Amino acid sequence: MNLNNLPNLVIWKSDENFSSLEFEGNVEQLCGFSEDQLINDPTLWVNIIHPDDRDYMLNALNLLKEGHQHSVDVNFRILRRAKAVRNILGSICRISHNGVTGFQGYYVDISSRNQDRELETHKKSLLNLLSDSIAKSFNLEKNRLDRVNEVLGSLGKITSADRVYIFDKKSGDNSRPILSQNYEWSRDGIESQMSNDVVFDVDLKELVPRWYSNLVENKSYLSGIVRHFPEEEREVLQPQDIVSILVTPIWYGNEFFGFIGFDDCSEERVWNDEESKLLTVFGSLMIASWIFEDSLATVERQLNEVKKLQSEREQFLKMISHQFKTPLSVIRLNTELLSQFSKKLSTGDLSFVQKKITRIESSIRKFEDLIEAILVGNSSQIVDITPEPINVNDWFKEFVAQKTRDFNEIKELRLNQNVTNAEKVKLSFSLKTLDYIMDTLFSNAVKYRGEKGAIIDLKYEINEGESLDIMIMDHGIGIREDELPKIATPFYRANDVINISGTGIGLSMVKDSLGAVGGSFVIESEYDEYTTVNISIPIEEIANDN
Partner 1 sequence: MTTNKNGKLLLVEDDFELRETLEEIFFLYDIPFDVAKSASEAKKQVSNSDAPYSLVLSDYLMPGESGLDFFMYLKELEIYREIPFFILSARTEDEVREKCRNAGVTDFIKKPFEMQTLVDLIKQYV
Which parts of this chain interact with partner 1 (CB under 8 A)?
322-334, 336-337, 340, 364, 368, 381
427 contacts: CB under 8 Å, gap ≥ 6: 387, 388, 389, 390, 434, 468, 537, 538, 539, 540
Which residue's CB is nearer to partner 1, number 191 or number 336? 336
Least distance CB 339 / partner 1 (angstroms): 9
Are the beta carbons of 426 and 539 closer than 8 angstroms? yes
Least distance CB 343 / partner 1 (angstroms): 13
Rounded to an integer, what distance in angstroms lies between the CA atom of residue 535 and that of residue 436?
A: 13
Which residue's CB is nearer to partner 1, number 294 or number 336? 336
Which residue's CB is nearer to partner 1, number 50 or number 325? 325
What are 460's strand-pairing partners?
Answer: 417, 470
| Kind plus residue range of the DSSP H or E element containing 210 | helix 209-211
Which residue's CB is nearer to partner 1, number 340 or number 420? 340
Least distance CB 329 / partner 1 (angstroms): 4
Under DSSP, the state recorded for 521 is E
User: What single letter denotes the amino acid at residue 272?
Assistant: N
Which residue's CB is nearer to partner 1, number 87 or number 378? 378
Cα 406 versus chain centre, distance: 55
Which residue's CB is nearer to partner 1, number 156 or number 377? 377
Least distance CB 326 / partner 1 (angstroms): 5
Which residue's CB is nearer to partner 1, number 254 or number 340? 340
Cα 111 versus chain centre, distance: 45
Are the beta carbons of 462 and 392 closer than 8 angstroms? yes
Least distance CB 447 / partner 1 (angstroms): 24
Under DSSP, the state recorded for 448 is T
Q: Strand, coil or helix: what is 91? A: strand
Which residue's CB is nearer to partner 1, number 71 or number 379? 379
What's the Rg (C-alpha) of the chain?
Answer: 45
Least distance CB 426 / partner 1 (angstroms): 23
Q: What is the DSSP string of 223-249?
A: EEEGGGS-HHHHHHHGGGT-SEEEEEE
Are the beta carbons of 531 and 474 closer than 8 angstroms? yes
Least distance CB 340 / partner 1 (angstroms): 8
Rounded to an integer, what distance in angstroms lies between the CA atom of residue 432 and that of residue 438?
A: 10
Least distance CB 337 / partner 1 (angstroms): 6
Rounded to an integer, what distance in angstroms lies between the CA atom of residue 6 and that of residue 2?
A: 8
